Amino acid sequence: MKNLSAVTEFILLGIPHTEDLETMLFVLFLGCYVFTLMGNLLILLAIVSSTRLHTPMYFFLCQLSVCDIFFPSVSSPKMLFYLSGNSRAISYAGCVSQLFFYHFLGCTECFLYTVMAYDRFVAICYPLRYTVIMSHRVCAILAVGTSFFGCVQATFLTTLTFQLPYCGPNEVDYFFCDIPVMLKLACADTSALERVGFVSVGLMPLSCFLLILTSYSRIVCSILQIRSTEGRRRAFSTCSAHLTAILLFYMPVVLIYLRPTPSPWLDATVQILNNLVTPMLNPLIYSLRNKEVISSLGKVLHHLGFLADQLYRENTS
């Protein structure tokens, strides 16, 4: 297809039906964004600084925290920029980058949740072989694999979207560049591409979800065979945080991409949940019921407080 594109920039119209709420939304989203960055950085510091947490489960949790730092950073800075009264324009290249990195990080997280479910499956169903199966080499391969396949999926979806000509309207009725809103602006028939995109976006999360479901089915069967009530409680407690995070991740994906009749306002609301709220809640989900993480976080905060006190004393002396 010959590219007839004459559009050099797009205008982000923002969240539908939120006129005159820019200041309130700016304060709210800025707070969520800062809290997300701080929470995930603290989780990273807590895991890296504690040798007791240098296990496969926490290794993958570190990777999840890195994704949760960058995932909201794809759309939030630009959104905060125009909510503060600045230009809503985004370049063609910037729009391509937003769409690519959004799906790259989103797909990576999807694969990562699947890997984390497999890790819990091995830990609970094969505890004596856990360190052999989940060796450092295997963990490294799985971690690289999640990013590689996330990149492949994102490259396919981005190429699919921007091979179309954009030669007319350039107003994006959304707060960032995503596939459904971009296809509406294309100067060509997008019905075939919409079907391909729907299958691609739907098939990947569905496959991951079925693998997660398989892992947890085996986990539940193994837990029910544990005779000790305390043992069952500890096993369920270990998996509950991961299951909560999975539900928070998959519900927005289903509501946004797999509904036959899209609703701009509902999509934007759910997307905010997916972009800001879920990454903000993940550090709380994985730390509140985990004594080891809480203990390590306490040490990190104590050390940071000590350093801040030292710097203050040096500056005032």
- Other CB atoms within 10 Å distance of the CB of residue 118: 19
Question: Phi and psi at residue 11, in whole multiples of 5°?
Answer: -110, 120
DSSP state of 298: H
Whether the CB-CB separation of 103 and 153 falls below 8 Å is answered with yes
Instruction: Give 153-206 pLDDT, tens digit per residue.
Output: 999 999 989 988 888 788 888 889 988 888 888 888 888 777 777 777 778 888
Grouping H, G, I as helix, E, B as strand and the rest as coil, residue 203 is helix
CB 75 within 8 A of CB 275: yes
pLDDT at 40 over 60: yes
A 10 A CB-CB count for 137 gives 8
| Alpha-carbon span 9 to 149, nearest angstrom | 29
Distance CA 263, CA 233 (A): 41
Selection from 163, 160, 133, 119 nearest residue 1 by Cα: 163
Query: Which pair of structure tokens corresponds to residue 167?
Result: 């030669």
Model confidence pTM above 0.75:
yes
Confidence at residue 2, expressed as pLDDT on a 0 to 100 scale: 46
Distance, first Cα to last Cα, the chain: 69
For residues 212-238, average pLDDT: 81
- Single out the residue of 116, 105, 98, 69 nearest to residue 216, CA to CA: 116
At 256 the pLDDT is 67
Taking the C-alpha atoms of residue 241 and residue 235, their distance in angstroms, rounded to an integer, is 11
Helical spans, DSSP H, in 172-290: 179-185, 191-224, 229-257, 264-272, 278-287
Distance between CA 249 and CA 106 in Å, rounded? 9
The most distant pair of C-alpha atoms in the chain lies apart, rounded to whole Å, by: 70
pLDDT over 60 at 4, yes or no = no
Provide the Cα torsion 290, 296, 302, 307; round to 10°: -140
Indicate the range of 89-93, 258-262, 288-292 predicted with least confidence. Answer: 258-262
Average pLDDT over residues 136-141: 95
Tell me how far apart the alpha carbons of residues 29 and 17 are, in angstroms, rounded to a whole number.
Answer: 16
Q: How many CA atoms lie within 13 A of 154 on its CB side?
A: 23
Which of the four pLDDT bands, split at 50, 70 and 90, describes residue 303?
A: confident
